[in-house]
Amino acid sequence: MSLGTQLFLFVSLLATSLEAKNVLLLLADDGGFEMGAYRNRIVQTPYLDALAKESLIFNNAYASVSSCSPSRAAILTGMPEHQNGQYGLHNGVHNFNSLPKVRSISTILAQHGIRTGLIGKKHIGPNSAYQFDYERTEEQYPINQVGRNITQIKLFVREFLQQGKAAANDSFFLMVSFHDPHRCGHITPQYGSFCERWGSGEEGMGLIPDWHPIYYVWDQIDLPYYVPDTQPARYDVAAQYTTISRLDQGVGLVLKELQDAGLEEDTLVVYTSDNGPPLPAARTNLYDPGMAEPMFMRSPEKGSRRNEVTYSMTSHLDLVPTFLEWFNVSHPLPASLTGRSLLPLLFHEPTAANHHSNDEPDDAVFASQSFHEITMTYPMRAIRTKRYKLIHNINYQLPFPIDQDFYVSPTFQDILNRTLAKQPVPWYKTLRSYYQRPEWELYDLKMDPTESRNLFGKSSMKETFQQLHDRLQKWLEVTNDPFRCAPDGVLQDTGEYLNNPTCLTLAH
């Protein structure tokens, strides 16, 4: 073999090894900031904390929708729920699916020879839009077995990685979608409100071999501001912490499998949650407890930031552009995406964010919510900058709907019972204000981080409102939101519906 041939082969092999990039997306189900990395003093999350120390930590990451299926669809398509069509919880009976032409990251990558896998909760459709080469989800197994049994999750991850090596597939995209710390609901109450007893080794609870349960004392918990300080709520959060610890140990097992397979140095690891916790003002709300998410990103590339914080405003809609750039793949419909790649952030912080500016005009995220369950129609649209948030409650004349898992929870039942009995509710809201919301909510998050003082209608905020309103409306037009004329107008079909629709305002 000549020297030239040897050199050509060496360069070819080098190029191949450099191209063998992978993504591991770790997704919590209703997870918030219950971890040491985000300064929770009580809950024990050593594996998440260790991952955060090796990652860039996002302090301004937000879901584009505060509901399970719509959020998963947004994460995997890069489109908000009103654009991809997954308006509410995946439901074949009522056709709660994404639109037929929608393409997810898994189907795009598969066309480029990149192997894809999903382990755990799927809860989106149709399958044609969200097909993975390797699937171990609730569509084949009981949801707790694929989403909470961390020993089983570990073995599925091992199988996926081994199959990739056997097939000599260089690159993969693997999503491990935990079901923790989602509520257990009313179907299996014997496992506890957060399924914190399931697999614990207690009599009748079964055993998860790799899980070492951690139990928390209810009166030693730091409650977040949006949870009422009552004994039922404290018991509730203590149970949540136990399942957070199971999630944490599961993350540790998955990362160990990646390391044992020798793939750690080729893999971008991302951790986040689909939406906020199932607690008051959180999940299904566009207040910060519902849409602010934990997120960190560990890059194997030299020079990437580790154990650093970014203050850049970040949306789940940025994840698809990030993954596409990581794999050097183009989106077939690039105009459909409004997000941006986060890879540059892994190396340097934007100048404006370095000064912690609260007035950077272009630094904003957008949110869109239409349903949760099939009967929970309450469309909301929102824009959030570092300083301000504007929420448009399109269906403001109806009471805000309460999802079933939260409705039967100890926390909410206690709020209901205290309110009915005219007893004090040690909470930052009243039940009436939670149910009955105005059409517009405008908050100065610098002066009012709990979003307690609505500034809409104040003369001093008129210009701020108009700027936010116009930016939000522009985003709704770019993403072709069918609700963008509501509630005071209708979307008028001009014959060029997708290109030139107009709003017809109704006479008052």
For residue 375, what are the CA distances in angstroms to 34, 87, 371?
Answer: 30, 12, 8
Dist CA 22 CA 382 (whole Å): 33
Say if strands 308-310 and 267-273 run parallel, antiparallel, or are unpaired.
unpaired
Tokens standing for residue 387: 């300083």
Distance CA 494, CA 500 (A): 7
> Which spans in 396-455 are helix H?
404-407, 410-420, 431-435
To 5 degrees, how large is the angle CA 410–CA 413–CA 417? 135
Is the separation of the CB atoms in 315 and 366 below 8 Å? yes
Strand partners, 302: none
Length of the chain as a residue count:
508
Helix (H, G, I), strand (E, B) or coil at 4: helix
- Which tokens is 289 given? 């407890």
Phi, psi of 49 (to 5 degrees): -65, -40
d(CA 377, CA 94): 14
Whole-number Å distance between alpha carbons of 486 and 468: 17
Q: Which helix (H) or strand (E) holds 440?
A: strand 440-444
CB atoms near residue 457 (< 10 Å)? 11
- Enter the tokens of residue 128: 């044609």
- Whether residue 55 contacts residue 297, with contact meaning beta carbons closer than 8 Å, is answered with yes
Q: Concatenated DSSP letters for 350-386?
A: -HHHHTT-S--TT-EEEEEE--SSTT----EEEEEES
336-373 burial, b for 16+ CB within 10 Å, e for fewer? Answer: bbbbbbbbebbeebbebbeeeeeebeebbbbbbbbbbb
Whether 32 and 294 have beta carbons less than 8 Å apart is answered as yes
Question: Sign of dihedral through CA atoms 97, 124, 499, 316?
Answer: positive
CA–CA distance, 10 with 176 (Å, rounded to integer): 35
Active-site residue, 485 included = no
Q: What positions carry a catalytic annotation? A: 68
